[in-house]
Structure 1
Amino acid sequence: MWIVATDFLAVNREELGRWVRGEPGAFDWSPFIQHVCKIEGRGEPWQDKQRRLRQRLRRILPIDVHLPDPLGAPLHPRADALLSSFCLEAVSPDRASFVRALSHISNLLRPGGHAVLLGALGESFYLAGPARLPVVPLQESDVRDALAAAGFSLRELRSYAMPPALRTGVDDVDGVFFAHAQKALEG
């Protein structure tokens, strides 16, 4: 198994590349990797998981989910699975754009491939330093409808209200969703 990572911003791709190469001063993902090892409960040393992850991350590519071919050209072979985390709703100015972005990323998946989406519910903005960036506010029903319109079969959708203790003031998020969907098999 190998991994292709994508990001719209060159600065983010460069930072991820620094981490993959183990360069000094790169973002430290070790607390997150340690947490994953803890919840997996296999007793695996986090350093081993980090080493394997770095080895499997083969490419870091630019992406624009508003293009029919988000990577600029078709991905060959197409992916078995993709993960999008708090991205599509942040780059979509409205629900129709969100649906189109889902349709576009489905082009990266093989027939029967899986999509795992994590995202914000009810969020209309987030702060990035002094910038206030708009977000399309989604409800659970919007996520369901968008996945269906983009040709996915919903396997599981869970949503959680944002507890007051986790509200930091950098956004107005009401909750989060976790969706597992599958691209249709081509007939």
Structure 2
Amino acid sequence: MGRVSMFNVVSLLSLLLCLSTPSVISLSLPPLLSLFPPLLSSPSLSHPLISTLLYPPSLPLPPFLSPPPLPPFLPLLLSTPPPSPNPQSLFLFPLTSPPSLSGDMGGDVLVDVGSGPTLYQVLSGCEVFDTVFLTDFLEVNRQELRRWLQGEGYSSLDWTPYLQHVCKLEGRRPSAWTEKAARLRSVVSDILPIDVHLPRPLHPDSQLPTAGADCLVSCFCLESVSPDLASFTRALGHIRGLLRPGGHLLLIGALGESYYMGGPGVRIPVVPLDEAQVCASVRASGYTLVRLEVYTLPQGMMVGVDDVTGVFFVKARKP
């Protein structure tokens, strides 16, 4: 979904994901981050919109958390003007760039599991897949996504600077953001309720093809909505049912994280995962692990809203 101070490194994944040989890579962030110096000096990290995208309490809350009628972060988020399009604050990278979706990746249908009110995770995937489904547990998040789909001026959030920056990352002119926005609006087929703790996470009446999706993307969701490791593993198995045989899962999550702050006084529990547990859970839930990348966070990127120590990226395939 969207908790991402660590997402300064995500664009590097496009260099790695096309490789289909099973492998595990451990990298340290500091040398990687030197590739993005303009993006790491942002003065805007305290802005409510930025901090919500970095560490969103917009994740679909699991049943055991008894979600409130309105997520506590939302009034603050929606009452604050979006940040100006300052390039130094645009460090949210697309999770899946067209180069990374080439080769053995492809098809027609992409499903984002646990979208929250955010779009960055599909800003590049929408160029590869012709049908995109956004999903979230909370209706308030789905409403925000629907408002953006209605057109400019309806949404409470201004995605323009992020669209422009993703265009730049893709080698396009920043002014192409209007084309990208139009493309995304044209390919989003539906915004669906989802509960990853159910054996059938989507309602049977959803318009997802019977054969399943070609690709699932899920970002900082499953470990944040599961009470323990066993539930995390089961949730992975549940969403596996949304994939067609041969389809791919692109999973990004936090390592070593036991909580994150979802707002003033709102402490959201997280399953603290390590690299071995991620590998074991992916395999135990019926996927073939294609690639695992692990990034260690430097002290300077630990900003006090969680206790995360690193980030993992999984590329897996449903046999």
- Report the TM range for the smaller structure's normalisation: over 0.9
Aligned ranges for residues 48-87 of structure 1 at < 5 Å?
48-73=179-204, 75-77=208-210, 78-87=212-221
Which runs of no fewer than 5 residues in structure 1 stay unpaired? none
1:24 and 2:154 aligned: yes
Partner amino acid for 2:286?
G
SS of aligned partner of 2:199: coil
Equivalent position of 1:143 in the other structure: 278
Equivalent position of 1:15 in the other structure: 144
What are the Cα deviations for residues 28-58 of structure 1, in whole angstroms up to 9, with x where unaligned? 2222222221121144712111110111111
2:197/2:238 contact within 8 Å kept = yes
In the alignment, the residues of structure 1 paired with residue 139 and residue 267 of structure 2 have an alpha-carbon distance, to the nearest angstrom, of: 21
Partner amino acid for 2:261?
L
Equivalent position of 1:173 in the other structure: 308
Which runs of no fewer than 5 residues in structure 2 stay unpaired? 1-129
1:3 and 2:132 aligned: yes
Partner amino acid for 1:142?
Q
Correspondence for 1:164 among 274, 277, 299: 299
Aligned ranges for residues 31-46 of structure 1 at < 5 Å?
31-43=161-173, 45-46=176-177
In the alignment, the residues of structure 2 paired with residue 113 and residue 41 of structure 1 have an alpha-carbon distance, to the nearest angstrom, of: 27
Greater strand percent: which structure?
Answer: 1
Aligned ranges for residues 99-178 of structure 1 at < 5 Å?
99-129=233-263, 130-178=265-313
Using the size of structure 1 for normalisation, the TM-score is 0.93
In the alignment, the residues of structure 1 paired with residue 142 and residue 198 of structure 2 have an alpha-carbon distance, to the nearest angstrom, of: 19
Correspondence for 2:232 among 85, 98, 109: 98
2:255/2:312 contact within 8 Å kept = yes
RMSD of aligned C-alpha atoms?
1.4
Moved segments of 4+, more than 6 Å:
none
Moved more, 24-33 or 110-119: 24-33
In the alignment, the residues of structure 2 paired with residue 87 and residue 114 of structure 1 have an alpha-carbon distance, to the nearest angstrom, of: 17
Say how many residue pairs are matched.
184
Aligned-residue sequence identity (percent) comes to: 55
- Using the TM superposition, give the Cα deviation of residue 25 of structure 1 relative to its aligned residue in structure 2, in angstroms: 4.3
Equivalent position of 2:114 in the other structure: none
SS of aligned partner of 2:245: strand
Partner amino acid for 1:80?
D
In the alignment, the residues of structure 2 paired with residue 144 and residue 171 of structure 1 have an alpha-carbon distance, to the nearest angstrom, of: 23
2:144/2:155 contact within 8 Å kept = no
- Using the TM superposition, give the Cα deviation of residue 16 of structure 1 relative to its aligned residue in structure 2, in angstroms: 0.7
Using the size of structure 2 for normalisation, the TM-score is 0.56
